[in-house]
Structure 1
């Protein structure tokens, strides 16, 4: 059962494990150099589809593998080695071990893994990933029922598949592959099976690391759990696994940004230097089509709060005139979607159909953006 704050209704796991810092970073309490974002999740798959439409190349495989690595790292931190060793097949092979188990040993293993799978489902519900459901294999007495997962209203179909893949890999200790199918209205089934990753991705996907700079963002916080009230003000439906912004009706979720950044880096390595601008353009188009009914004539302080609450960084400079906007975001992540989002919001604020955008991401995490309206 998911525990929630009696004052604000946010799951206590969120307030215990995450810290909304004054520098625009949402850090992990147990690992402060690692971060999460609180982001409009509907953007994820729309941007990936937009990229595919613009370049004419499927990117699904790269997205799933990239995200699965972040999930695997998270699960390895969340569950200690002695727990994960229960089904670790990296040395002796789990299939062979299960074949030699007595009925009592098998029953104990399945009961333990069912409890662990339930814990992972609770994590997914806490973070807004949708209503994940135990597969039918548990009732059928299958050997590896944890390898199949079902979900209603996923925050991202591709990330759901990747999360299942990364979770199973974290416990079984061997490389896996994944496939999925749509089984109903916004309902999906994901299956994981042994198989090696694509070697070229294994060698290229890397994290971007830098030391976080300080900031002075102030949050009004829940007096009981400490979560920013701007976060608590979203509508949290824990059973359905959804977080909705009541002001916009948009779905939100908490997830690690490194996997998406790694996807974009790998696409650039594989498909060429035009990929960053393609990501920006795909994001710009989606934001304009999805958010165009809103009034985006916002000031610097509002933008600073918007960016910081989402964990995207610290807005250190914000200068605008009738020709456009210049801004500097420190501790930036998801920089390509952020550039596309800023460009779209500037166009909507200035009520223009097009603009030019220049940007630069420094090694220390400083993101400079300059948008000029036409």
Structure 2
């Protein structure tokens, strides 16, 4: 892609390596704003996960995912785009187009999708719109929500998005002025990240400073994809604030059983071939695997066929991690299982997985 410089040593886009810092406690933060946490993880399980959740609760959640992700994305971008800059766009001192082009380019480097601008109007009235062709989104509802959140992050206000599939896996996203549902606005809480020191170390590319593991991935910038060079798994750089607060808000809307539904659905989807945790690896390998993705600091894991205990500090994607560990346990020991988990105020994830008891029929 023109204008995107790759590191000559590890072939990682400099926009990517310069924009993030891998910390020593298993988190990734933006260099320009260390309150903004990021994660770099597999993403092809997300839409199957959302579809399974819908099947389990018997109701659609896509509209809530889009609305909440839009709100979370807008709040997140408010940390990055100064209020005075947004005011200059609103007063027409600055054009909107360069900001949207910059944000969509950043999204392409992050693995969201390929974006092609189709049209845009901003006169601060009801006829305003922003239309892009979006090719191969990493997740349709999250990409749609992130897109409309980007518009909000530039011009403020509240917006909605409509989309239509014009070719297989190719969509037109169009925004318009709207109002976020009050009930969802009240339930969404996005908080900044606070770093805590740890003892995790990465070998670094001597040229750009990114972890050497980044060279295992290929940036297909013409497609807006990031793929593992060996097995082709798709990755995305995503803020946990686009997932964790959304699940919390959905719990408030759908009931206290919702977290258990997410964990169960996540475990089932991961067992279908998406899981990347292998309990046959040693603890150091699993710890490094999770830290590179920015998921947190694994400080304890013990696993036998009778029980697995896990403790992670500074965790994110809590419910997804719980499902991921449960799927790893069931795959390793070929059992069905029960899981209990707790998320502390200090964002520590504690969980226990045990095999389900098999009740044998009583014979006379």
> Please, what TM-score do these two structures have when normalized by structure 1?
0.87
Give the corresponding residue for 2:340. 358
Give the corresponding residue for 1:12. 14
| 8 Å Cα contact 1:210/1:365 also seen in 2 | no
Richer in helix (by share): 1
Following superposition, the deviation at residue 171 of structure 1 comes to: 2.2
Return closer, same or farther for 1:229/1:357 CA change in 2, 3 Å cut-off: same
* Alignment equivalent of 2:140, drawn from 148, 157, 168: 157
Q: Which runs of 5+ in 1 are unaligned?
A: 90-96, 98-107
Give the corresponding residue for 2:238. 255
Give the corresponding residue for 1:128. 111
* Alignment equivalent of 1:206, drawn from 189, 195, 220: 189
Following superposition, the deviation at residue 76 of structure 1 comes to: 3.5
Give the corresponding residue for 1:63. 65
* Alignment equivalent of 2:162, drawn from 179, 190, 195: 179
* Structure 1 SS opposite 2:213: helix
In the alignment, the residues of structure 1 paired with residue 144 and residue 90 of structure 2 have an alpha-carbon distance, to the nearest angstrom, of 21
In the alignment, the residues of structure 1 paired with residue 71 and residue 308 of structure 2 have an alpha-carbon distance, to the nearest angstrom, of 36
In the alignment, the residues of structure 2 paired with residue 122 and residue 210 of structure 1 have an alpha-carbon distance, to the nearest angstrom, of 25
In the alignment, the residues of structure 1 paired with residue 174 and residue 166 of structure 2 have an alpha-carbon distance, to the nearest angstrom, of 13
Q: Which runs of 5+ in 2 are unaligned?
A: 357-364
* Structure 2 SS opposite 1:276: helix
* Structure 2 SS opposite 1:42: coil
* Structure 1 SS opposite 2:96: helix
Q: Does residue 267 of structure 2 align to residue 284 of structure 1?
A: yes
Q: Deviations over 1:118-176 (max 9, x none)?
A: 212210111011111111569xxxx9786112111111111221122111112222111
Give the corresponding residue for 1:44. 46
In the alignment, the residues of structure 1 paired with residue 270 and residue 89 of structure 2 have an alpha-carbon distance, to the nearest angstrom, of 43
In the alignment, the residues of structure 1 paired with residue 21 and residue 321 of structure 2 have an alpha-carbon distance, to the nearest angstrom, of 21
Aligned residues: 350
Give the corresponding residue for 1:349. 332
Report 1:1-374 matches (<5 A): 1-88=3-90, 112-135=95-118, 147-207=130-190, 211-291=194-274, 297-352=280-335, 354-374=336-356
Following superposition, the deviation at residue 266 of structure 1 comes to: 1.5
Following superposition, the deviation at residue 21 of structure 1 comes to: 0.8
| 8 Å Cα contact 2:128/2:177 also seen in 1 | no
Return closer, same or farther for 1:211/1:118 CA change in 2, 3 Å cut-off: closer
